Amino acid sequence: MVHPELKSKQGRVFRRHAARGIVMWGEQILLLFTERYNDFSFPGGGLDGDEDIATGLKRELEEETGAREIQVLQHYGYIEEYRPYWKPQYDLMHMTSHFYQCEVAPQLEPVRMESHEIANGMRPVWINLHEAISHNEAVMQRQDSSMGQSIQRETFMLKKVAAELLVQISR
């Protein structure tokens, strides 16, 4: 995926790897709602230093959702994206987001959000998968000035999960 504001994939590139969790209970999915961007996204984020992907994913799920007893079941897929980067020493960011199916304990504990996540009004929510897709699509359709850069990636993967994983669950 190439962000529409990005003019070129050439230049000084900041590379980042991220792990994101797909946690479902029937048609309900555990997502993050962010007030600032008015969107739903998968819990997860960038890996710290030499952190392996399963460790990073578990850490992010615990911090952002309060999930415990996390089991990383299997790799579901990945998305590569190129987008503008805010640090002046780079021209763009190349991010590879790996998505993993996970299971967690039913009861969520208190979250440990980072300061920017708190400032953006991020909170974990269980929501019907189709409602989350419809909401994000409406935000993209309106082209809200507050729209975040990751909404295209997140909505693409939500649709893929709805088309492929809900079929498996209902069997």
pTM: 0.91
- Element housing 133 (H / E): helix 129-142
- Strand, coil or helix: 157: helix
Class of residue 122 by CB neighbours under 10 A (exposed 0-12, middle 13-18, buried 19+): buried
- pLDDT above 60: residue 171: no
Per-chain mean pLDDT for the chain: 93
- Sketch the domain layout of the chain as residue ranges: 13-169
- Give the Cα separation of 43 and 111 in Å (integer): 12
How would CATH label the architecture of 13-169? Alpha-Beta Complex (3.90)
Q: How confident is the model at residue 6 (pLDDT cuts 50, 70, 90)?
A: confident
- Give the Cα separation of 40 and 123 in Å (integer): 10
Q: What is the pLDDT of residues 108-134, one digit of tens each?
A: 999 999 999 999 999 999 999 999 999
